Amino acid sequence: MLGLVGAVIMPHNLYLHSSLVLTRKIDTKDKNQLNEANIYNFYESLMSLIISFTISTSVIATFAVYKEKNANIELDLYSASEALAVAFGNSSKYIWAIGLLAAG
Report d(CA 64, CA 3) in Å as an integer: 10
CA distance 81 to 19: 31
Q: Which amino acid is it at 40?
A: Y
What residues make up the domain containing 41? Answer: 2-20+29-103
| Cut 0.75: pTM above it | no
Element (H, E) at 81: helix 80-88
Query: Considering its fold, how many domains does the chain have in total?
Result: 1
What does the pLDDT look like over 41-91, one tens digit per residue?
A: 888 778 877 877 787 787 778 888 888 888 787 887 777 888 888 888 888
Helix axes 91-103, 80-88, angle to 10 degrees: 140
